[in-house]
């Protein structure tokens, strides 16, 4: 049975779905206010780990993930995403090369766009080969903010000195 809960983060309200098989989705929700309520047992650890992540007290998620119903290619991309270390980035082309399919750069981008498990499967850590921020389903500002959270020295915006 699929369970659902909501988690209010500093980045907005996230809807979390999953079962005893694992987390199926973590998506930004437009519900206002963010619904409160009991957290189903199968989602409790996900909420705890997300909370620690946003407090910068967790750098690696340890959760069961349920990618059932998705294509083998997408799953192979998402499995590469979870290997990207906290505070680091990689490129779409580097992932395509890792998958022994260097021409699949656009397909890697599409798999990122279709990632159902935001934050935990860190598609925000994938940038263009040039180093530019590109394509994030919640917008480039959110992508930058997530990268700033993980690595403020590399991704923080420059403030005025005077």
Dump pLDDT digits (tens) for 29-55: 999 999 998 999 999 999 999 999 999
First to last CA, the chain: 57
Dump pLDDT digits (tens) for 121-152: 999 999 988 877 877 767 788 889 999 999 88
Side-chain half-sphere exposure of 89, counting CA atoms within 13 A: 23
By C-alpha distance, which of 29, 25, 24 is closest to 8? 29
Dump pLDDT digits (tens) for 54-78: 999 999 999 999 999 999 999 999 9
Q: Alpha-carbon distance 103 to 124, whole Å?
A: 21
| Residues noted as catalytic | 123
Q: Quote the pLDDT of residue 161.
A: 41
Dump pLDDT digits (tens) for 95-125: 999 999 999 999 999 999 999 999 999 999 9
Q: 18 near 5, Cβ under 8 Å?
A: no
């Amino acid at each position: 049975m699929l369970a659902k809960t909501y988690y209010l983060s500093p980045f907005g309200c996230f809807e979390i779905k999953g079962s005893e098989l694992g987390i199926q989705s973590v998506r930004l929700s437009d519900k206002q206010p963010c619904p409160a309520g009991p957290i189903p047992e199968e989602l409790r650890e996900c909420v705890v780990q997300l909370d620690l992540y946003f407090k910068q007290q967790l750098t690696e998620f340890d959760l069961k993930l349920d990618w059932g119903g998705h294509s083998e290619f997408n799953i192979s991309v998402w499995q590469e995403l979870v290997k990207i270390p906290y505070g680091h980035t990689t490129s779409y082309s580097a992932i395509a090369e890792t998958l022994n399919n260097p021409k699949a750069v656009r397909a890697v981008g599409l798999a990122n766009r279709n990632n159902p498990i935001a934050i935990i499967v860190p598609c925000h850590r994938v940038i263009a080969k040039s180093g530019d921020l590109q394509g994030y389903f919640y917008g480039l500002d959110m992508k930058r903010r997530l990268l700033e959270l993980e690595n403020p020295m590399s991704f923080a915006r420059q403030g005025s000195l005077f």
